[in-house]
Amino acid sequence: MSLLRKSIFNKIKNEFNHNTEYPFLYDAIKKPIEPDKEFSEALDLMKSIDFVRIVDSTYQLVTKELPGPDTRILFIPANPAYREIYKEFGFGFHAFTLGSGKIIVSFDPTFENWQQFLPYALAHEYHHSVWTSRNFESADFTPLEYIVLEGRADSFAKGLFPDTSNPFINILDEKNMERIWNLIKPEINRRNTDMNEKLYYGTDDIPYGSVYAIGFEIVESYKKNHPLITDQILIDITPEEILQGSKYNK
């Protein structure tokens, strides 16, 4: 393990290793880091970022809309190993929530749109943190639970930052959305299935990140059918009820 990777990983373990609901997400940062010129540039840029100002302004907004637990956020540089994927989608972010009040944001500030997307990413992960603090029972999500979890977080973030472009919520047209939904339905309520990984990482039949597009569509459809619903209420509604109240209930 390189000294840089060991330093980053140990920092995360020290900060977030207690009472973590999703410890398997540590795997997201275990890939070896091979520093290069762009990585060094990203590190230099991160040193000049006023993270406190960004977080304070964002969290004044998100906590007003959705009160939640005290939250620790760790910013780390994005691993160069993922740069080609970042370039494909046009933004360099990989943020995740290890548990209630525990958020890690890995990003590459050499992408010009990082300032626009960072508040959105924080809002998305904050929603996961709040949901976990209120509703967590098991990390073994069914595909429906996983899809709605991501859909609620993106719907919340998009509602607060409507001008932010998230490429993943728009990657599927209606025809492919329906095709993939038909692949999901036989396993929609199963546990111990690999469907969640397929929806995130993609397959020959399912594009990378499809979980976000499908989840966002389901939750937005539910909101459209229930115009008086708020995010404070929606966060506690069961995935089954959200599906039933959307156009996907067929």
Domain assignment of residue 198, given as a range: 143-244
Domain identity same for 51 and 162: no
* Number of domains comprising the chain: 2
Does 249 reside within a domain?
no
Residue 81: the pLDDT is 85
Domain identity same for 46 and 94: yes
SS3 category, 76: strand
Contact 151, 143 (CB under 8 A): no
Residue 216: the pLDDT is 98
Which two tokens mark 146? 């996983």
pLDDT in tens, the chain (250 residues): 455 556 666 777 777 766 789 988 877 777 777 878 888 888 899 999 999 999 999 999 999 999 999 999 989 888 888 888 888 888 888 899 999 999 999 999 998 889 899 999 999 999 999 999 999 999 999 999 999 999 999 999 999 999 998 999 999 999 999 999 999 999 999 999 999 999 999 999 999 999 999 999 999 999 999 999 999 999 999 999 999 999 886 6
In our burial notation (b when 16+ CB lie closer than 10 A, e otherwise), range 143-169 reads bbbbbbbbbbbbbbbbebbeebebebb
Does 118 reside within a domain?
yes
Residues 154 and 160: their CA atoms lie apart, in Å, by 10
Does 109 reside within a domain?
yes
Contact 122, 58 (CB under 8 A): yes
Q: In what order do the strands lie in the sheet with 102-107?
A: 72-77, 102-107, 93-99
In which residue are the tokens 């010129």 written? 37
Residue 25: the pLDDT is 86
Residues 191 and 139: their CA atoms lie apart, in Å, by 10
Residue 5: the pLDDT is 58
Residues 139 and 182: their CA atoms lie apart, in Å, by 24
Domain identity same for 53 and 82: yes
